[in-house]
Amino acid sequence: MAEVSGSRGFVPEPVMETLADRVARIRSAARGRVLELNGSDPTGEGEGRYDTVISLVRVPYEPDLDSYVATMVRHLSPGGCLYLLEPTVRTGPLGRPSRRRVRSTAGVHVGRDVPRALRNAGLFVTDLDRFVVPDVPRALALFVDATARFPTEAPPT
């Protein structure tokens, strides 16, 4: 097991290897004032607003997903960008049976619909890539690589 930079917990090495290119891409896309929520601050709080907020494999270690998403929203500047690379659940009819089998244990909370939590918090998900990490436990196999922003108003007609 290897510690994921940006998380408080441990994930299997195959997950780390699969995520390495995506983590590098996210970090290189960061612009302006950047907040990477990494668990070093126990409250998950930075100060002020940021142009870029990054969350890398942190959601499973947060007991309250809505509170964590609210923290990200609170720190995101109006024109800012939120990048997430997090385990999630399969959605739709194929996902319903598997969600019933996924349980949170030992302080690790899995089986959450991360994109839905972002939308419920008022963010617009602009990019979304769901992918599977092979050869790992089912609870950590399905990931989402997402970018979200505040919605913008349509230009006047």
Q: What is the pLDDT of residues 57-82, one digit of tens each?
A: 899 889 999 999 999 999 999 999 99
- Which pLDDT does position 128 carry in this prediction? 95
Per the CB < 8 A criterion, the answer to whether 91 and 85 are in contact is no
- Name the residue among 123, 19, 24 with its Cα closest to residue 71: 123
- Supply φ then ψ for residue 133, to 5 degrees: -95, 115
**Which pTM does this prediction carry?**
0.81
Most confident of 11-20, 41-50, 62-71, 88-97: 62-71
Distance CA 120, CA 70 (A): 10
Buried b (16+ CB within 10 A) or exposed e, 108-140: ebbbbbbbebbeebebebeeeeeeebeebeebb
Half-sphere exposure of 91 (CA within 13 A, CB side): 14
9-to-61, 81, 97 alpha-carbon distances in Å:
7, 25, 27
DSSP conformation class of 15 = H
Least confident of 24-38, 42-56, 62-76: 42-56
The CATH H-level superfamily of 2-149 is Vaccinia Virus protein VP39 (3.40.50.150)
- Which pLDDT does position 47 carry in this prediction? 81
- Which pLDDT does position 7 carry in this prediction? 45
Q: Please tell me which residue, 47 or 57, carries the higher pLDDT value.
A: 57
Distance CA 92, CA 139 (A): 17
User: 8 pLDDT exceeds 80?
Assistant: no
Percentage of the chain surpassing pLDDT 90? Answer: 50
Half-sphere exposure of 59 (CA within 13 A, CB side): 28
User: 137 pLDDT exceeds 80?
Assistant: no
